Amino acid sequence: MAEGRLKAEDRQFIPITFTLNGRAQEIQVEPHELLIDVIRNRFGFTGTKRSCDVQVCGACTVLVDGQPVSSCTYLAFEALGHDVLTIEGLAKNGKLHPLQEAFIEHGGLQCGFCTPGMILAAKSLLEQNANPTREEIIHFMEGNICRCTGYKKILESIQAAAKTLRQQSSGV
């Protein structure tokens, strides 16, 4: 296997510009590099977690242009021209996002390993559907696994945050 590895002179570097947590970035990546490794190792945003590595668990979820993707299976060069949000970019000016508040308030987290991906997926859901039903939440979130909570308190956290966000947007 190792004999077949790419020779040093054949290595390819692709310049990409993209936005990461609201800041413009310009880097070079190799084709095989995964977004999760670039985010964690080059930018130090270690809130994005690697777990199952097969797109089942959702721990590595980041938002690309507002949509959830598995950064463990997303080639970094694909970020070109896109807006990438990790958990570190969610709180604004030190103020937690209503989802972050709700997860703390309603016990939506325990060990915390699934939490960044869980919150980002929920953010994407609530941006597309401000008032989701229980079934709609379950359908959207079923690809994010939590092994600690039993999901009930996560569901309640998302429902509570949805309510807060609706109140905020209606100016109540």
Partner 1 sequence: MLRRFRLEEPESVKEACELLARHGESARIYAGGTELLLAMKEGLIQYERLINVKKITGLDQVKLENGTIRIGALTPHRKLENDPVLKQKLPAFVRMEHHVANVRVREVGTLGGNLCFAEPHADPGTLLMVLGAKLVAERASSRREIPAERFFVDAYETCLEADELLTDIHVPALPERAGAAYLKFGYLERPSVGVGLFIAWDQDAAIAEARIAVGCAGPKPKRVEEAEGLLKGKSARDAASALAQAGEIAGRAADAIGDLHGSAEYKEHIVGVLLKRAFQQISEQRSSKSSR
Partner 2 sequence: MATKSSFTIVGKAARRVEGIEKVTGQAKFTVDLTIPGMLEGKVARSPYPHALVESIDTTRAEKLPGVVAVLTRADVKDINPYFGHCLRDRPLIALDRVRYVGEPVAAVAAVDALTAQEALSLVEVKYKELPVMATFDDSLTPGAPILHPDIQGEGAYHELKKLQAEIQTNVCHHEHIEEGDVGTGFAESDRIFEDVFEFPMVYHYTMEPHAAIAKVDANGITVWSSCAHPFVVRAELALIFEQPLSKVQVLVPYVGGAYGGKSYTKIEPLVVALARKAGQPVRLEQSVPESMLTNRRHSARVWIKTGVKRDGTLVAREAKVLLDTGAYADNGPRVARRAATRIHGPYRIGNYNIDALAVYTNTCPAGSFRSIGGPQSIWALESHMDIMAEQLGIDPLEFRLKNLLKRGDIVKSGAKPMDADLLSDLKQVAVKLDWKGSAKRRTGSGVGLAVGVTDSEAVPVSTAIVRLLADGSVVLMSGSTEVGQGTRTVLCQIAAEELSVALEKVTMHSTDTNVTPFDRSTGASRSTTVMGTAVRAAAADLRAQLIEIGAEILKAKPEQIVLKDGEIIAGEYRIGYTKALHTYFGMPGGELIGRGYCRPGGGMSPIYPLFWETGLGGADVEVDVETGEIKLNRFVGLADVGKAINPPQCEGQDEGAAMMGIGHTLFESLIYDKGQPLNPNLVDYRVPSFRNLPAVFDTILVENQDGPGPHGAKGMGETGIVSPAPAIGNALARATGVRIRELPLTPERVWRALRDKSSK
- Please give the residue ranges that form the binding site for partner 1 (CB under 8 A): 1, 4-6, 10-12, 14, 30-34, 53-56, 58, 61, 64, 67-70, 73-75, 77, 121, 124, 139-140, 142-143
Taking the least distance from each CB to partner 1, the nearer of 65 and 167 is: 65
Name all contacts of 67-72 with Cβ < 8 Å and 24+ positions apart: 67/124, 68/120, 68/121, 68/124, 69/35, 71/34, 71/35, 71/36, 71/39, 72/34, 72/36
Contact 58, 41 (CB under 8 A): no
Residue 88 interacting partner from partner 1, partner 2, none (CB closer than 5 to 8 Å by kind): partner 2
Residue 10 interacting partner from partner 2, partner 1, none (CB closer than 5 to 8 Å by kind): partner 1
Residue 115 interacting partner from partner 2, partner 1, none (CB closer than 5 to 8 Å by kind): partner 2
Minimal distance in Å, beta carbon 124 to partner 2? 15
Would you state the structure tokens that stand for residue 69, as one six-digit string? 């993707």
Residue 171 interacting partner from partner 2, partner 1, none (CB closer than 5 to 8 Å by kind): none
Q: Please name the residues in contact with 147: beta carbons below 8 A apart, sequence gap of 6 or more.
A: 111, 114
Q: Which residues contribute to the site for partner 2 (CB under 8 A)?
A: 1-2, 5, 40, 45-54, 56-57, 59, 86-88, 90-91, 96, 99-100, 103-107, 109-116, 119, 137-138, 141-155
